[in-house]
Amino acid sequence: MGHLDYAHQLSVDDGQFAIAKVNGTIKLVQVSLATPASALTTVDVKIFRHEFIHIFRYAECRTLHPADVHIIELIDDHHKSYEEENDTVFLAKNVMERMSKLTSRAPFAAHPQHVSRMRRR
């Protein structure tokens, strides 16, 4: 599904930050609080890309089918700092550690270095 219009963007801006699996990949997202909790309702999210150590920057705003997004952990406001003027999020060390563990659980075949080792055997 495509990008959100301005009205949807506003509903996401006041949303809850979370670690989520989006289309099979662990991401930092901001989920709209206006989205009802239902397996049949699309979910409005802002997706943030990992930039450096504990820094994330806004990447895109999307409306996703519930099958394409799974909220793993809501992030308490005390464990993040969000600079709205430049769409930058800073996560606390403990949240980054949990997120890192989640991303390291990905199937090893998804990592190119592991695939090349498998081919040499």
Residue closest to 98 by CA, chosen among 79, 83, 121: 79
pTM of the model: 0.74
Residue closest to 75 by CA, chosen among 48, 35, 52: 48
Task: Choose the weakest-confidence range: 4-8, 51-55, 109-113.
Answer: 109-113
pLDDT in tens, 29-77: 999 877 666 667 888 899 999 999 999 999 999 999 989 999 999 999 9
Residue 1, domain member (yes or no)? no
Residue 76, domain member (yes or no)? yes
Host domain of residue 29: 6-120
Residue 116, domain member (yes or no)? yes
- Rounded distance, CA 118 to CA 58, Å? 36
Q: How many helices (H) and strands (E) does the chain have?
A: 3, 7
pLDDT at 105: 72
Residue 115, domain member (yes or no)? yes
How many domains, in total, are found in the chain? Answer: 1
pLDDT at 57: 98
